[in-house]
Amino acid sequence: MAAIEDFDSNIKLSNTIWLDEYYVRLNNKGNKNVSNPRHHGKDPIGDVVNNTVIIIVAIDDNDNILTIPAGTGKILSQETALRLLKDRTVEGSTIITDETQAYNKLVSKLKLKRIAYKSTDHSEETLLEQSNMNNLCSNIEGFFSTFHGVSTKYLNQYLALFRFSKKLSYTTEETRNKILAYFDKTIDSKVKYKFKDLADEKLPWE
């Protein structure tokens, strides 16, 4: 798994970049002495918000993908977005987002061009722009649904596996063979943990 995580660790998004946030329920499975939070009813402003993990999701027009856990809560802060994306985004690129303020500091720091669509805009052009990100988020949801609960502690590993599977789906058979050959050569050297050590891992944003 460490080999898969390292495989795209140096990728930078460029040209046109779609950005959004995806939310998953906090799951403490695998954390020692920490139980899963109790959820009372379906209040979207109460327990669900306080126990929700934010994932920054991005894809550029070269099909490079980022999926970065960004802490818990309802709103992604400008400081967090800047910290997590400034070294993974090429200066001067164009980002396409909704009207969130989360990326303001990133835009200023990297001199990005920004296209922000309004939630009330249902034009054909806007829906087409949104479809790229909506499809990606739907793919993540479908990927997570294949597991019996996604432990927040191992969220980076799940997301790395998702990105790897998407990368394979975008490539030709020749390129897929090259990617798989890379893992044949490197997988042994990339193993960092014994299984029993995983319980002591920190959460992805710590």
| 39 within a domain of the structure (yes/no) | yes
**Number of domains within the chain:** 1
| 166 within a domain of the structure (yes/no) | no
For the chain, percent of residues with pLDDT exceeding 70: 70
Give start and end residues of each alpha helix (H) in 10-154.
Answer: 47-50, 78-85, 104-110, 124-144
User: Rounded to an integer, what distance in angstroms lies between the CA atom of residue 89 and that of residue 84?
Assistant: 10
Bigger pLDDT: 203 vs 195: 203
Q: Which two tokens stand for residue 88?
A: 């993974």
| Mean pLDDT on 39-62 | 69
pLDDT at position 51, please? 82
pTM of the predicted protein model: 0.75
Q: Which residues contact 196 (CB under 8 A, 6 or more apart)?
A: none
pLDDT at 117 over 80: yes
pLDDT at position 88, please? 96
Nearest of 49, 58, 142, 65 to residue 103 by alpha carbon:
58
pLDDT in tens, 157-172: 899 889 988 877 766 6
| 92 within a domain of the structure (yes/no) | yes
Contact 66, 84 (CB under 8 A): no
User: If you average pLDDT over every residue of the chain, what do you get?
Assistant: 79
| 198 within a domain of the structure (yes/no) | no
pLDDT at 152 over 70: yes
| Mean pLDDT on 35-53 | 52
pLDDT at 200 over 70: no
118 exposure class (CB count in 10 Å sphere: 0-12, 13-18, 19+): exposed
Match 């590993």 to its residue by tokens: 157
| 145 within a domain of the structure (yes/no) | yes
| 126 within a domain of the structure (yes/no) | yes
| 105 within a domain of the structure (yes/no) | yes
pLDDT at 44 over 80: no
Bigger pLDDT: 57 vs 173: 57
| 187 within a domain of the structure (yes/no) | no
Bigger pLDDT: 14 vs 199: 14
79: containing domain: 11-152
CATH of the domain at 56: 3.30.420
Q: Which residues contact 49 (CB under 8 A, 6 or more apart)?
A: 73, 74
